[in-house]
Amino acid sequence: MTCGDNSEEAFRMAREAMALHLYGIEQDGEVIPEPSTLSTLDTEAGQVITLIETWMPPFRDEMENRAVKKTLTIPKWLDDLAQEHKVNFSHVLQEALKKHLGVSDKST
């Protein structure tokens, strides 16, 4: 369920909510249900039915490439030395993980 301060925002939020829900179903390995037909939907006074569609490929890419925080522990002397050399910890960890796993980027 979602809402917005105006129609444009409400539709954008509905598309995002739909994409997130569908992505969750995909990740859980569940079957995505067929869309409802208009004749099976009941509305109350003042309600309207509208089509909400979303294009999943760019949403999947966004979700797969979003940044996630990781907590890690290193010795203080190594942290001090790295900070002294202005090391970008995220970049170094990403490059080290790619090398360790033998990948260059996410394969689709």
| pLDDT tens-digit map of 11-68 | 999 999 999 999 999 999 999 999 888 889 888 998 888 888 899 999 999 998 888 8
Interatomic CA distance for residues 13 and 79, integer angstroms? 41
- pLDDT classification of 105: cutoffs 50, 70, 90: confident
Identify the band that residue 107 occupies on the pLDDT scale cut at 50, 70 and 90.
Answer: low
Distance CA 66, CA 79 (A): 25
Task: Break the chain into its structural domains and give their ranges.
Answer: 1-66, 67-108
pLDDT at 76: 96
